[in-house]
Amino acid sequence: MQQYRNGDLTFDVDDSGPADGELVVLLHGYPENRGSWHAVTPLLTAAGYRVVAPDQRGYSPGARPLRRRDYRTQLLAGDVAALADAAGAGKVHVVGHDWGGAVAWAFASLHADRCTTVTSLCTPHPKALVASMVRSSQLARSWYMLLFQLPYLPELSLRGSGAKAARRKLIATGLPAEAADRYLAPLVADPAAARAALNWYRALPLSAPLRGSIAVPAMYVYPTGDAFLGRKAADLTARYVSAPYRYEVLDGLSHWLPEEAPEQVASLLLSHFRQQAS
């Protein structure tokens, strides 16, 4: 499968591993794309899992609606359900990094019957993140989320000298230079792609808050060198999971776990999957 559809949207997707393996869905963050998982995927498929990694809504050229309301979290979770349908899977292991982690939490909440396990890399449960805003330095770390609410100006930050500054910032926070260039290139080349990626942030005030707690086995992986997300929200996430929960802290690693530590990420994922199968 190279593409799948949800309504009138068409998504590009990488599909690897045995067709009869348990399905693992890998969800990228901002400003990444499905290429962020290239080093993780073969480690999972070698263990017998089928792995699908889509370019999510706004990142796939055929799935780029104009309105910010079309990027609400509940719709992004629906894209994952449509992907599971297209792959012929009743239930999936869903794994997300950065914004993909927020979608993974939403999928586990809204589509619990389709979710075998959920794993979030870096991104805490949304309620934990909100709680940490007034109990830690998280609000200061999240300044860019407020900036991205503005019209037009954030798109300009991905052009000319702004694009160079964005590249330097990503590299300074731990993303390899090659990956920064690869992720920024489509956003710099196409203003529609930049707007769509930023609309994820602009849709935040329109997204319905998650209700209840996560009722499927969950793992949260927090790197202590994360420049964007603080430890307080990480520690609070356990409060919002009622199922078996695993909290892993990786000392010294940066926000960009799939690129920086693919072997550690894959090892943790395989352990989590197998623990729930035993």
Return the active site residues.
Answer: 98, 201, 255
Number of helices (H), then strands (E), belonging to the chain: the values are: 13, 8
Strand order in the sheet with 3-6: 3-6, 9-16, 50-54, 23-27, 92-97, 115-121, 218-223, 245-250
In whole angstroms, how far apart are CA 71 and each of 79, 197, 205?
11, 9, 11
The residue written with tokens 């104009």 in the block is 66
Residue type, 2: Q
**DSSP code of residue 75:** H
State which H helix or E strand residue 104 sits in.
helix 99-110
Round the CA-based radius of gyration of the chain to a whole number and report it.
17
**Which of left, alpha, beta for 52 (phi over 0: left; psi -120 to 50: alpha)?**
beta
Do the strands 218-223 and 3-6 form a parallel or antiparallel pair, or are they unpaired?
Answer: unpaired
